[in-house]
Copies of this chain bind each other. A is one copy, B any other.
Amino acid sequence: MQMNKMQFLTSGFTSSEPSGASALATKLALFHRLSAEEHSALQSLSCRVRKVDAEQVFVQDGTSENHVFVIIQGFAYRYKLLDDGRRQILGFVLPGDLCDTDAGKSVRHDHFVAAMQESEVGMIAVADLAALRAKYPNINKACSLAAMLERSILRQWVMNVGQRNAVQRISHLLCEISIRLKAVGQENADGSINFPLTQAALADTMGLTTVHVNRSLKQLRKDGLIALRSHRLTILDYGRLADLAGFDEDYLQLMCYPAVGAQARNDSYGADSKCQAL
C-alpha cells in the first residue's frame, strides 16, 4: 500500500469544552483508584477540543509536541512509513485513549498519528499533565498503567504478525478492537461496532496485501464468524473466532485495578466496581 496524499492540520479549534478532560478522567479511573480530589483535578485540566477530518494527521513523525492528545470520539491510528511508501499501522487509538501519555517532557515522535474517520481530540499541555502526575500518585500510576497496556498490546501485535497466518491475524485484530470498543461503551444496539478500516488499512496493519485480506475476510464470512460491510462489524460467533485467532483477552485486563480489601467503593470515583476489560 502506498501513501499518496495525506492531508495535514488545518488548525481548526472549537472552543474549550469539558469533554476531553472528562474522557481522560474516566479512562484513567479504570486503571487505578482515584481520590475525589484527583478526579476533580483531572476534570479541571484545561483541554482544548479539536475536530479532525478522516485521514488527517495530527501527530507528525520527527516533530515534538507540547500537547498530549486524548481521543474523545472517533478512531485514530498510529503508523510508520517506509522509504518506498509502504505503511505499517502500529496501533489504534480509541475513545478515551491517550497519545504519548508518559511524556513528562516533549519527546520527538517516531511515528505518525492520524484519524481513521472524523474524530474529536482533546489537547492537554504536556506540562499540565506532568504537574498532575507529579502531584497525584494515583494519576501517575494510572498513566503508567495505560502506557503498560499499550506495550502489552504491541507485544500481542508482534506475536500476531510473527506467528499467525492471515486469517488468524485478522481474527485476532477483530477481537481486540471489538473488546476495546465495547469496554468504552462504543457498541451499537444491534451488537455491531463501528469499524472504519478499509481493507487496505487492514492489510497495512497485518503485514498483508489487500488482495489477501479480501480473501481472508471472505473466508471468515463464509464460515459464519463475522459480518462486515460499510464499516460495521458484527462478530457472529465470538467463541469460535477467538479460538481460531488464539485470542485471549487477558492481556487487555490491565485496566482492572484490584479490589482494595473491604474498603467501601464510594470513597473514590472508580467507574464501575466491576473489573472491566479496557
Contacts of A9 in B (CB 8 A): none
> Is A150's CB within 8 Å of the partner chain B?
yes
| Majority SS at the chain A contact face | helix
Rounded to whole angstroms, the CA-CA distance of A80 and B246 in the bound complex is 12
Chain A positions 246 through 270: 1 when the CB is less than 8 Å from some CB of chain B, otherwise 0: 1000110110011000000000000
Contacts of A188 in B (CB 8 A): none
Least CB distance, A162 to chain B, in whole angstroms: 3
> Is A180's CB within 8 Å of the partner chain B?
no
A207 with B140: in contact, given A83-B246, A151-B147, A152-B110 (CB under 8 Å)? no
> Is A215's CB within 8 Å of the partner chain B?
no
| Partner pick for A102 among B108, B134, B148, B155, CB 8 A cutoff | B148
> Could you pull out 24 A-B pairs where Cβ atoms are within 8 angstroms?
A32-B104, A80-B155, A82-B159, A86-B163, A88-B163, A90-B155, A103-B144, A104-B141, A105-B141, A108-B250, A110-B155, A110-B250, A110-B251, A111-B155, A140-B140, A144-B144, A147-B147, A147-B151, A151-B154, A154-B157, A161-B207, A162-B206, A162-B207, A163-B207
Rounded to whole angstroms, the CA-CA distance of A162 and B83 in the bound complex is 15
Rounded to whole angstroms, the CA-CA distance of A264 and B61 in the bound complex is 31
Chain A residues numbered 228-259 whose CB sits less than 8 Å from any CB in chain B: 246, 250-251, 253-254, 257-258
Whether B163 lies near A82 (C-beta < 8 A) is yes
**Closest residue to A91 on the B side, CB-wise?**
B155
Rounded to whole angstroms, the CA-CA distance of A68 and B112 in the bound complex is 32
Whether A151 lies near B150 (C-beta < 8 A) is yes
Q: Which residues in A have some Cβ–Cβ distance to B below 8 Å?
A: 32, 78, 80, 82-83, 86, 88, 90-91, 100, 102-105, 107-108, 110-111, 130, 133-134, 137, 140-141, 143-145, 147-148, 150-152, 154-155, 157-159, 161-163, 206-207, 246, 250-251, 253-254, 257-258
Contacts of A155 in B (CB 8 A): 78, 80, 90-91, 110-111, 154
